[in-house]
Amino acid sequence: MSAPKDPTQFNLPDRETLASSDVGSLGLAVLALTKELWVLTDRVHVMEAVLEKHHLDIREEIKRYQPDDAMTAELRQESTALIERVLNALSKD
Amino acid sequence: MNIETLNPKLNQRGRAEIDFMISMFGGSADIRQKADADVNVAAGDIEALPDDLDARSDIINPGLADSKAHRVRSLVGEFHAQNHADVCGRAFDEIFPDLEADLTALHNGPAALYLNPDFKEPDYWSGVDFHRTEGGWDGHPFAGYIHAEIIHRKIVSAGFPGGIFAQRKDVASRAPKSHYNKILDMGCSTAHFTQALQEVYPDAHITGVDLSARTLEHAFRVANAHGWNWDLYQRAAEETGFEDKSFGLVASYILLHEVPEVTIEAIFAEAFRVLKPGGDMIMSDVTRYADLDKLAAWKADQGALYGGEPHWRESASADLGAIAKKVGFVDVNAAGDAPRSYPYVVQGRKP
């Protein structure tokens, strides 16, 4: 095996990754990621609410926590805003 | 019986995933508005659009090539189409250990379930992932429960202010008589409309037929949870096998767009056959394309195209009133509710 003529070419190889035909899948992946991010954000909200009540082992309580109407509205507002930001970024000219 | 089993409390992860899916509607409102504006421009003179829906696409779609808003809206729609059932299935799987005993208990009660192990799926149904739900109506062992109590109760209901259940009850109450002894619900699915029929006609005995075993199993749970003595059969609405002149009312809600036009006619003919003389038919379904302008019909058709609705175009293009008359019904009335001509309700009487 011979050594490369210019080893620095390995520094930034011209490697093709996603093609334009992958854009649809990329968009789906971005939304999937956004959804996961939202699940975590939601979880933090719930955790804070439960911690405030107990300062104890709250894992099970978080899992089964049922937001009241006010919290549901707050979460809905924040998730809607997050989605708006992502979609606006995607559709920006 | 535990009615709460039919309105489950989800765990945090499942609930948050579902909340996200619901929020996508509000979060995409601006994009949808922009995309609609671009569609309007691409369509041009609505009256001048071709009658043929595919030809309409040939006019409109090229005009959307530079619309980012349209592409992003399509992306959001595709994401929802691909994910909504999975999200709800996962939410169910999380709580299944807590639900299992209650669900098993709901096998006991006054209702009867008759699944057919030799059931032959009609071609229009077999292998179709209706609503883009992988595996169709039977793709999960508890697909009926997931469809009824999570997808519909949690997600679809959020998009219908006033409630999909009230909508069904309103249609059930439009049958002309105040009392029926025997009612047949064609395509009863998970019993949202069956329940409405029973609540409106509390003394009636209700029989339901559907193709899907999983949805019938859930209708069975609903009946037992409420103490209703329904008979539920895995049979096609167009070939119920019941004797002539068996029922006083034959009804359906949101079945007809899931079948081709030839089957709609067969279903109406079957309803006519099993009705007693003087019996009533009331069938309700989606807005007729004929009641929409050419652009609105195109938009509805696009929704069907990407929403796992292979028969919607043909069904929504059918003249349900004419079909009802053709098979023998009289006093036929067919019309959509204002302002969106939804639901579209066709009624008739067997002379």
Partner-chain residue, chosen from B9, B31, B82, that has the shortest CB–CB distance to A66: B9
**Is there a domain that residue B107 lies in?**
no
Q: Nearest C-alpha of chain B: how many angstroms from A15? A: 27
Cα–Cα distance for residue pair B283/B268, rounded to 1 Å: 9
**Is there a domain that residue B27 lies in?**
no
Choosing among A20, A35, A48, which should be mutated to test the B contact, i.e. which has the most B CBs within 10 A?
Answer: A35
Q: In this model, does residue B289 exceed pLDDT 80?
A: yes
Higher pLDDT, A14 or B102: B102
Cα–Cα distance for residue pair B137/B131, rounded to 1 Å: 9
Mean pLDDT of chain B: 94
**Is there a domain that residue B24 lies in?**
no
**Is there a domain that residue B54 lies in?**
no
A65–chain B Cβ distance below 8 A for any pair: yes
The residues near B132 (Cβ < 8 Å, ≥ 6 apart) are B81, B82, B84, B85, B307, B308
Q: Nearest C-alpha of chain A: how many angstroms from B192? A: 25
**Residue B269 is part of which domain span?**
161-302+309-349
Tokens 């019904």 identify what position?
A: B329
User: What are B113's two structure tokens?
Assistant: 């379930």
State the CB neighbour count (10 A cutoff) for residue A21: 7
A35–chain B Cβ distance below 8 A for any pair: yes
Q: Nearest C-alpha of chain B: how many angstroms from A90? A: 7
In this predicted model, what pLDDT tens digit does every residue of B96-131 receive, in sequence order? 999 999 999 999 999 999 999 999 999 999 988 988
**Is there a domain that residue B32 lies in?**
no
A90–chain B Cβ distance below 8 A for any pair: yes
Q: Tell me the angle at which helices B12-27 and A23-54 cross, rounded to the nearest 10 degrees.
A: 130
**Is there a domain that residue B267 lies in?**
yes
Please report which confidence band the pLDDT of residue B1 belongs to, taking 50, 70 and 90 as the band edges.
Answer: very low
Please report which confidence band the pLDDT of residue B199 belongs to, taking 50, 70 and 90 as the band edges.
Answer: very high
Tokens 């041009």 identify what position?
A: B44
Three-state SS at B191:
coil
Q: Searching chain B, which residue's CA lies closest to the CA of residue A47?
A: B12
Based on the number of CB atoms within 10 Å of its own CB, is B78 exposed (0-12), middle (13-18) or buried (19 or more)? middle
Please report which confidence band the pLDDT of residue A3 belongs to, taking 50, 70 and 90 as the band edges.
Answer: low
pLDDT number for residue B7: 87
Cα A78 to chain centroid, rounded: 14
**Is there a domain that residue B26 lies in?**
no
**Is there a domain that residue B258 lies in?**
yes
In this predicted model, what pLDDT tens digit does every residue of B230-246 receive, in sequence order? 999 999 999 999 999 99
State the CB neighbour count (10 A cutoff) for residue B134: 12
- Domain at B167, CATH number: 3.40.50.150
**Does A42 sit within 8 Å of B27, measured CB to CB?**
no
- Residue ranges of the alpha helices (H) in B44-188? 53-63, 68-105, 143-145, 164-172
Answer whether B12's CB lies under 8 Å from A43's CB: yes
Q: Which residues of B touch A63 (CB under 8 A)?
A: 11-13
Q: Nearest C-alpha of chain A: how many angstroms from B210? A: 34
**How many domains is chain B built from?**
1
User: What are B103's two structure tokens?
Assistant: 């669900």
